[in-house]
Amino acid sequence: SDNLGYYENILPNGDYETTCQFLQKVVDLMMIHIKNTNNRSEKILRFQHPEDLKQVLDLEIKKEPVELSKIIDDCEMVMNYAVKTGHPRFFNQLSQGLDIVSLAGEWVTATTNTNMFTYEIAPVYNLIEMTVIDKMRILIGWNEPCDGLLNPGGSISNLYAVQAAKHFFFPQTKLNGLFKMPKLVLFTSEHSHYSVHRAATILGLGLNQVKNVPVDEKGKIIPEKLEFMIQESLKLNEVPFMVILTAGTTVLGAFDPIEPVADLCSKYNLWLHVDAAWGGGALLSRKYRNLMKGIDRADSVTWNPHKLMGALLQASVFLVKKKGILLNCNEMNATYLFQQDKHYDVCYDTGDKTIQCGRHVDVFKVWLMWRAKGDEGFEKQMDRLFELANLLYEQLKIRQNYEIVLENPEMTNICFWYVPISLQKMDKNSNEYKQKLHQVAPKIKEKMMVNGSLMVGYQPLDDKPNFFRAIISNAATKEEDILFMLDEIEKLGKD
């Protein structure tokens, strides 16, 4: 079976048996990767610097074909050097884990290889997308059927939000662009995701028209400052049209207060978008959904199941309360694709609502895992993540080499400094201390990656020197992994 020969031996022109042997070998390798991902004694990664990695890999696409056995080796090579993002000690990104049902969904999706743009070629997937959007709509608390799409990432979902808000208030911009328009201004917090700013550039509003509202010590937008800034903008004859709040900021995990900002949006007639890309999963928990109290008052919401809910990348949902707006914004009526005289109800063709043409099937793996867990299973999963985050926080409080960045965090982002003994006696307000502390996390991070034992992200924020941000969103993580993280950082960070 090792002698599979070349590409022409497998389907569509070769035989089914050779195809089975070839794919079985790839599946066997994937099963080893899955096993290793869940094995704590396996490394998370085998780090190589890019120039060194290039030396050990054979990446060239040659003129002549390579044998299928070599193609299998290529698959093995990729998995050998892949970062095991589902490893229980991977705390680096908001998206973590390797949910097996979601994986099955992704395999089925790949096997059925289709495009979401029409019901014609993706009938079940389009019905499933509508089902998932409606499920999320109910959790948000909107009473009427809404509109929505799965998109390639939260940044694109936020882009849809700005586009929808602009179109709602200024539909003429679809034809005229911003020609002869006043300055259209949107407000978001200093700690919101950078995709908000990028959306303003993509849509031609300009970065200067994004006003960054100050946050409090917990990283939450300050509604009084927001109102002041709206009024200042009006005095300058600008046209405020939108506020973007964050439910779970990227670094601190802060939840902006939705109710008072929704009041301001009603008062000044502004579109309210809530970027719950990260925090959205908490809506599945009765204990934590109140973090987003008032989200039902939003005009639109971003919610990424590939983050807290642990769906495989990628799965980002944009939901919008006003039905029809996505089609109005984006409709181009390509007659080769969206014929209106098809023999079925063409409202099930979703393609003309999007900014894409081809759209990957992201929804199946989300739906499949949700079915497998049920709402009850997801609620348990969410509560467990918060429980583990709390354990980490409590441990940090009692360990003398750590300092907490954000007291009483609301989300499963736990931010902290490791303070080596040599720095512990220094004046914490001195520049020298801050400069030295700033260098600690990158050094420890390098050691983690070279060892392959642990991955935790770090960053500076405002005037704070580099600190670790541990994200708890992996269903594989247990108490022992939280303790390991802190022990390992102490080990790697010793003076």
8-state DSSP, 458: E
Report if residue 281 touches ligand ABU, rule: CB under 6 A. no
Nearer to ligand ABU (CB atom), residue 240 or residue 457? 457
**Beta pairing partners, 436:** none
Among 151, 173, 250, 316, binds ligand ABU (CB under 6 A): 250
8-state DSSP, 215: B
Nearer to ligand ABU (CB atom), residue 122 or residue 471? 471
d(CA 226, CA 261): 8
Report if residue 152 touches ligand ABU, rule: CB under 6 A. no
* Token reading at 132: 């998932």
To ligand ABU, the closest distance from the beta carbon of 462 in angstroms equals 17
Nearer to ligand ABU (CB atom), residue 250 or residue 477? 250
* Token reading at 93: 């990104």
**Cβ count near 372 (within 10 Å):** 15
* Token reading at 1: 């079976």
Report if residue 94 touches ligand ABU, rule: CB under 6 A. yes
Nearer to ligand ABU (CB atom), residue 26 or residue 449? 449
Among 154, 240, 310, 465, binds ligand ABU (CB under 6 A): 154
To ligand ABU, the closest distance from the beta carbon of 405 in angstroms equals 15
d(CA 33, CA 43): 11
**Beta pairing partners, 470:** 414
Contact 447, 420 (CB under 8 A): no
To ligand ABU, the closest distance from the beta carbon of 251 in angstroms equals 8
Report if residue 310 touches ligand ABU, rule: CB under 6 A. no
Report if residue 93 touches ligand ABU, rule: CB under 6 A. yes
Q: Write out the DSSP string of 234-271.
A: HHTT-EEEEEEEEBS-TTT--B--HHHHHHHHHHHT-E
To ligand ABU, the closest distance from the beta carbon of 110 in angstroms equals 24
To ligand ABU, the closest distance from the beta carbon of 154 in angstroms equals 5
Nearer to ligand ABU (CB atom), residue 95 or residue 285? 95
Which residue number has the CB closest to ligand ABU?
Answer: 93
Nearest to 82 by CA among 46, 36, 42: 46
d(CA 123, CA 368): 16
Between residue 367 and residue 396, which ones bind ligand ABU under the rule CB under 6 A?
none
The number of residues that bind ligand ABU (CB under 6 A) is 6
Nearer to ligand ABU (CB atom), residue 297 or residue 307? 307
To ligand ABU, the closest distance from the beta carbon of 410 in angstroms equals 17
8-state DSSP, 89: T
Report if residue 279 touches ligand ABU, rule: CB under 6 A. no
Nearer to ligand ABU (CB atom), residue 306 or residue 353? 306
Q: Between 11 and 40, how does the x/- string for binding to ligand ABU read (CB under 6 A)?
A: ------------------------------
To ligand ABU, the closest distance from the beta carbon of 459 in angstroms equals 9
To ligand ABU, the closest distance from the beta carbon of 278 in angstroms equals 7
Q: Tokens 């639109």 map to which residue?
A: 300
Nearer to ligand ABU (CB atom), residue 313 or residue 404? 313
To ligand ABU, the closest distance from the beta carbon of 448 in angstroms equals 16
CB-neighbour burial class of residue 347 (10 A; exposed 0-12, middle 13-18, buried 19+): exposed
- Bridging pattern class, strands 184-189 and 210-213: parallel
* Residues in the chain, total: 495
CA angle 486, 492, 495 (to 5 degrees): 115
- Integer-rounded Cα radius of gyration of the chain: 25
Q: Point out which residues bind ligand ABU (CB under 6 A).
A: 93-94, 154, 193, 250, 277
